[in-house]
Amino acid sequence: MAGATTLGDLAGAIAIRSQESAIVAELKAGSEDAYAWLIGQFHQPIYSLVYRIVSDPADAADTTQEVFLKVFRGMKHFHGQSSLKTWIYRIAVHEASNRRRWWYRHKARETSMEPSLNDPNPGVSALEEALVDQADSPFENVVHEEIRSHVEQELRNVPEPYRTTVILRDLEEMSYEEIAEITDVSLGTVKSRLTRGRDALRQRLTAYVREVGPRIGLQAPEEEDSPPTDSRVSTRGGDAMTCAQAKSLFSPYLDGAVTGTQMHAINRHLQSCAWCRREYISLQQTQQLLAKIGSRKPPRDLALKLRVAVSQEAAHSRRPLLQNFFVRLENALNAFMVPATAGLATAVVIFILLMGFLAPLQADNPDVPLMLYTAPQLQQSAFGTALDSISDDSLVIEAYVDSNGRVQDYRILSNPTEAKTLLPQVKNMLIFTTFRPATSMGRPTSGKAVLSFSKISVRG
């Protein structure tokens, strides 16, 4: 039976790996659908992880966008040494840590107009968001928000790198091996950091559990006059273990990451040592409080902004291709232009040929630069005035414009649930929308444009 389970797990792992390889291939090919899937799959957990590290919603949103742009730029260098998820989380932890260090260097002395964590009524904005949920009563939401605000505040006070390790394990539910890959440390270092981080958070929350424990279903820890010394050991059988040894294994014991012999010894020690038993119960209660805070919800428009940012990055990344061609052409010509006079004469001849070839096009459109790529520019639209930024009620359209400045195809990026309703209205309006076509080397060519309009109303 165990063999069948092992084979089933292996088959499932192979299937997941094969599916991930197909996704990675699509991402490397620049598939917009693949990146839309990637953003939908990971933007919420990445935002939550980044928020726990930087402790600011605006910084968390900006850092999350930078993470996905780094993923797009670095996808060609991803060779599958780790899973796609682990690789993305590694980038997120690195970017969030850099943002946090930058904040301490530049903004630590600035005064924010946002509610402080030390205010008598912390988390008001989050409380308002929580009260929208109809599953719990307002009183339950208030209690839940009070717990989350206090636990998050104490978690911020746990020093690095222990705090990030606790976040990855207890909030993001990553395995020890995944945390080791993400933070680029050994498995033993992960266990050591997790033990110290959990113990630091437990000490900070002990008084809080004693205060509010009965209200939230947690047993208040008992107090003892003095802690035991290392000479205090379990006396049953031959698996004697000191209190210091037992305490050092509480964290992996909580995760089931100890050997059978260690588990047996810890069980016996907890039965005979009341002090260590209270310490372990306190650690369990810390874990229960962490489980209550859950993950942070990203801004509602974050996924859309990420898709637009990646789409714009893809458009910009294609522009230098033509310029690179001319750089290579120049380098190739330089190899044959040993005499300076011959090189000058060759350059003059090439320039005359190019000008003669491009002169008719320049006469038709003298304002178009010859050596650059210009994107399509909106000239006339039935939608009204285009917006400079994207808001919750924006209509965001990606239009495919031909060399004559007409829309050949389009996609609605925003409000996917309303896309079918808006389709006939958008189609009719795009008929009367004209662009100044994209140009390459002075020649009109096809291109893409991302437009943002105020939302249209469909009547009928």
356 and 382 in a single domain? The answer is no
394 and 432 belong to one structural domain: yes
Helix (H, G, I), strand (E, B) or coil at 158: coil
Distance CA 198, CA 178 (A): 18
d(CA 16, CA 9): 10
**Residues 263 and 397 grouped into a single domain:** no
Q: How far apart are CA 174 and CA 292, in angstroms?
A: 17
Residue 45 included in any domain: yes
CB 398 within 8 A of CB 375: no
Assigned domain for 12 exists: no
pLDDT of residue 220: 57
Judge contact between 295 and 48, C-beta under 8 A: yes
Give the three-class secondary structure for 218: coil
What is the value of pTM for the model shown?
0.58
Please give the backbone phi and psi of residue 93, each rounded to the nearest 5 degrees, phi first: -65, -40
Distance in angstroms (rounded) separating the CA atoms of residues 343 and 363: 29
Question: What residues contact 138, with CB distance under 8 A and at least 6 apart?
Answer: 131
Dihedral sign (CA 204, 209, 210, 212): positive
The pLDDT value given to residue 106: 56
Question: What pLDDT is recorded for position 87?
Answer: 94
Q: Is residue 162 part of a domain?
A: yes
Hey, which residues does 242 pair with through a beta bridge? 233
Taking the C-alpha atoms of residue 108 and residue 86, their distance in angstroms, rounded to an integer, is 31
228 lies in a domain? no
Q: In this structure, what CATH number is given to the domain that contains residue 459?
A: 3.30.2420
Question: Do 418 and 352 reside in the same domain of the chain?
Answer: no
Q: Which of 248, 277, 293 is the last residue of a domain?
A: 293
Establish if 450 belongs to a structural domain.
Answer: yes
Q: Tell me the angle at which helices 57-74 and 84-106 cross, rounded to the nearest 10 degrees.
A: 130
- Do 207 and 153 share a structural domain? yes
- Is 49 among the domain residues? yes
For 314, the token pair is 């893809």
Q: Please tell me whether residues 162 and 255 are part of one structural domain.
A: yes
The reply to whether 138 and 207 lie within a common domain is: yes
State whether 348 and 383 are in the same domain: no
- Please measure the distance between the N-terminal and C-terminal CA atoms of the chain and give it in whole angstroms: 62
Answer whether residue 97 is part of any domain: yes
**127 closest CA partner among 155, 150, 154:** 150
Residue 344 has what pLDDT? 64
**Is 75 in the same domain as 136?**
yes
Residues 17, 25 contacting (CB under 8 angstroms): no
Per-residue pLDDT of the chain (460 residues; tens, 9 = 90+): 444 444 445 445 555 567 888 899 999 888 889 999 999 999 999 999 999 888 888 999 999 999 999 999 999 889 888 899 999 999 999 999 888 887 666 554 444 444 444 444 444 444 444 444 445 556 566 667 788 888 888 998 999 899 999 999 988 889 999 999 999 999 999 999 999 999 999 998 888 888 776 666 666 555 554 555 554 444 444 557 888 888 889 999 988 888 889 899 999 999 889 889 988 988 888 888 888 887 888 998 999 999 999 888 888 876 655 565 565 666 665 655 545 555 666 677 677 776 665 554 444 455 545 456 788 888 777 665 444 555 566 677 888 888 888 888 888 777 656 666 666 777 777 777 888 888 877 788 888 888 776 654 433 3
Tokens at 153, concatenated:
């505040």
Q: Is residue 158 part of a domain?
A: yes
Domain count, the chain: 3
For 343-390, the DSSP string reads: HHHHHHHHHHHHHHHHHHHHHH-TTS-SSSEE--EEEE-SS-SBPSS-
Q: Residue 405: helix, strand or coil by DSSP?
A: coil
Residue finishing a domain among 339, 364, 389: 364
Residues 229 and 243: their CA atoms lie apart, in Å, by 7
Strand order in 438-440's β-sheet? 373-374, 438-440, 443-445
The verdict on 355 and 388 lying in the same domain is no
Q: Residue 242: CB partners within 8 Å, gap ≥ 6?
A: 230, 231, 232, 233
pLDDT of the residue at 10: 43
- Residue 293: CA atoms inside 13 Å, Cβ hemisphere, count? 24
CB-based contact 206:282 (threshold 8 Å):
yes
Compute how many other C-beta atoms are within 10 angstroms of the C-beta atom of residue 191.
21
Same domain, 377 and 261: no
State which residues form the domain around 339.
326-364
Rounded to the nearest angstrom, the gap between the alpha carbon of residue 9 and the centroid of all alpha carbons in its chain is: 28
Helix (H, G, I), strand (E, B) or coil at 449: strand
Whether residue 410 sits in one domain with residue 261: no
